[in-house]
Amino acid sequence: MTIKTRRKPEVLAPAGNLRGLKTAVDYGADAVYCGGKAFGMRSAPKNLSLEDFEEGSRYAHAHGARVYVTLNVLPRNNEVESIREYVGQLKDTGVDALIVTDIGVMMTAHAVAPNLELHVSTQAGVTNYGAANALYELGARRVVLAREMDLQAVRDIRARIPDDMDVECFVHGAMCMAFSGRCLFSNYLTGRDGNHGECAQSCRWKYSIVEEKRPGEYYPIEQTEEGAYLFNSQDMCMMEHIDDLIDSGATSLKIEGRSKSAYYIAAMTNAYKTAVNEYMVQRGFEDADGNVLKPFRDRVIRPSDPDFEAFAQVAEREPDRIMAHADEAFAGVPGERPTAAPEPGAAAEPDDLSYHARSTRRKSNTAAEILPDGWHHAPVRPAPPVKLPDWLLDEPDKVAHRDYSTGFYYPDRKVTQNTNRSAYFRAWLVVGEVLGWSGEDGGRVTIMSRNKIEPGQHVEFLLPGEAPLEYDVPADGLRDADGNWVPAINNPAHVFSFPCPHRVPVNAAIRSRTRKPTLKAE
């Protein structure tokens, strides 16, 4: 099997159905992951039939994107033969890869569908390069790292695995209180097996203490009279730190959300794809038009790299001083970037020690430790932060979300739980979707309504690959499907039109601020 050389970091978007798949591709996804009617870790979405996979694969390939199928449940004995049969059906649909957890499923897929790439799911809980290399020997060409990894651990793994093995990391979406999502909580409370895609999200429920002999008397666990959400983790958002994640060696950036709406898929795919494009331009890999200026590579140094020996000389010559400088350099300044580096092949002077010290520090989620050769996992050159435009930084707040965090990537500011609510923030809502645009009479957009639109209302059209188009709905000219004038658009799921001089693409979402930001449970 030939693995294509990575041209740039992959943006991997979720899809719970065929519409979601096409939406992800339309808004720039390099690949889409989705589940079939069986054996995936999300049973709530409608998921895709074999016919859907065929159509979706054709659509994705026509736009230069790929399709990955989740086959990542922990199967029971009575499912082994059914999985073998299902893999045999999937291999003829045109999909590109299978995402697996169970080693038995991996071996089955490797035998039945040898032309499909095998990606190891985050459910496998891979946290070290030894496991990644072992999975590579078994045929895996990608490992989806456990979400509990910090950035230095990602660097360590990237530097110690084959170049043609991808490292996939979550970049946005819901987190889980259980390690890599392997949880029995839902099964205990509801009989719905989270390891078979049936999670009831019991961790999001509200809990209180009730004394056995005093039924009905609720005792707050936290400082609230409304109970407590003990296991309700924050969502992840790495938009502002996309450069750190790519520099650590992540070759695929995964957006969580196969149960989410087409709007969520469009908004977050567009946002992270645009952020990756900004990274490629500001790091000098591409120009503003996407033309390649130099081959993309991550910033992890490997033993085969030209700079390797220069770093080795310093580490071997004065390891004690380097470790001392590491402690000093990182005291009170977690995550600070190195400020200087020796020229390739040049012996480092003592003044360079602060650079090497900052490069050697291994910050773990569980303990401070230094790998024996940890020094060589530093960036090749210090690089300035990638600066994203304000509109892009605002995008994550325009979809429904819980409080955001950076997950476990930065040990000094790890994800926590929301103990007083499980609802979503909703500062924006979708008010319509574009069905068509005509340039006649100065321009008119036809929409399918989703929420109320009034004359003078400020809306945004979500556009692929660029900032949203801001627009004030005209004071007049609103019409229904029959061309009759209406004072406002009040009926959801009906066709309307209004004047719009700007050409807008079909299926573009139209959103507007809520009058008052809402919290809504889901």
How do residues 48-76 score in pLDDT, each as one tens digit? 999 999 999 999 999 999 999 999 888 88
Q: Domain of 260: which CATH number?
A: 3.20.20.70
485 exposure class (CB count in 10 Å sphere: 0-12, 13-18, 19+): exposed
How do residues 464-508 score in pLDDT, each as one tens digit? 999 999 999 999 999 999 999 999 999 999 999 999 999 999 999
pLDDT, residue 355, reads 39
| Pair 377, 434 in one domain | no
pLDDT, residue 335, reads 38
How do residues 240-285 score in pLDDT, each as one tens digit? 999 999 999 999 999 999 889 999 999 999 999 999 999 999 999 9
| Pair 287, 436 in one domain | no
pLDDT, residue 384, reads 81
How do residues 295-320 score in pLDDT, each as one tens digit? 887 777 666 666 556 655 655 565 55
Distance CA 199, CA 197 (A): 6
Query: Which amino acid makes up residue 164?
Result: D
Distance CA 184, CA 191 (A): 9
Number of domains into which the chain is organized: 2
Cβ–Cβ under 8 Å, residues 142 and 100: no
Q: Which domain holds residue 287?
A: 1-175+233-321+369-418
Distance CA 415, CA 394 (A): 20
| Pair 455, 393 in one domain | no
Q: Domain of 460: which CATH number?
A: 2.40.30.10
DSSP 176: -
Sheet holding 495-499, edge to edge: 469-472, 458-461, 509-520, 424-438, 444-449, 495-499, 479-480
Which H, E and C letters describe 311-356, residue by residue?
Answer: HHHHHHHCHHHHHHHHHHHCCCCCCCCCCCCCCCCCCCCHHHHHHH
Q: Provide the whole-model pTM.
A: 0.79
Query: Which amino acid makes up residue 67?
Result: V
Q: How many CA atoms lie within 13 A of 186 on its CB side?
A: 19
Q: Answer yes or no: is 361 within a domain.
A: no
pLDDT, residue 217, reads 78
| Pair 406, 437 in one domain | no
Q: Answer yes or no: is 343 within a domain.
A: no
Greatest pairwise CA separation for the chain in angstroms: 83
Question: Domain boundary at 389, 418, 447, which?
Answer: 418
Q: Is residue 286's pLDDT more than 60? A: yes
| Pair 317, 444 in one domain | no
3-state secondary structure of 184: coil
| Pair 138, 67 in one domain | yes
**Residues shown for the chain:** 522
| Pair 386, 455 in one domain | no
State the sign of the Cα–Cα–Cα–Cα dihedral 13, 57, 466, 435. Answer: negative
